[in-house]
Amino acid sequence: MIATLVTLALLSAGPKSEALPFDVATLKAQPRVELKVVVGDKTTTYSGVPLARLLKAQMSGANVMADLRKLSDGAIILRAKDDYVAVVSAVEAALDEKGEKYLIAFDQDGKPLSDEQGPAKLIVPGDSMPVRWVRMISSITLVRIGTP
């Protein structure tokens, strides 16, 4: 009975969402990191910014652990121009300040991404298959599931 009430409370409250600051020109102007990724037998170098940078406003408090706990019910939804969608844990992204796990790439092997791939693409090198590699990113949203 209690589990049912908790579930109903979560469903009635509904998730809250907020668009994250995704402006390609602004992000491209920031300091970039490079990430070498091996796909099959080919090594590719991507250049971009860590997804964590988009969570800067949520991580601005004096207590990092408290900020991370506030993100514990969060999921980042990345949507592509072709409506492909992938989801990433907000805490996982926030902890990856160097962009080694979640990189928003603008360049591949020293060249801007092609129109079929860019202007921005999420690179997730730890995935065994590139299911969460979102090309042609059009929006990034933080969704909080909430607590009862």
Q: Is the pLDDT of residue 3 over 90?
A: no
User: What pLDDT, on a 0 to 100 scale, did the predictor assign at position 62?
Assistant: 82
In tens, the pLDDT along 8-45 reads: 444 445 678 888 888 999 999 999 999 999 988 999 99
Residue 141 host element (H or E):
strand 137-144
Q: Is the pLDDT of residue 148 over 90?
A: no
Residue ranges per domain, the chain? 15-144
CA 75 – CA 129 distance, rounded (Å): 20
Residue closest to 39 by CA, chosen among 109, 116, 119: 109
Question: For the purposes of burial, counting CB atoms within 10 Å of the CB of 122, is it exposed (0-12), middle (13-18) or buried (19 or more)?
Answer: buried
CATH number of 15-144: 3.90.420.10
Q: Are strands 16-19 and 103-108 parallel, antiparallel or unpaired?
A: unpaired
What φ, ψ does residue 7 adopt, rounded to 5°? -60, -45
CA 122 – CA 13 distance, rounded (Å): 30
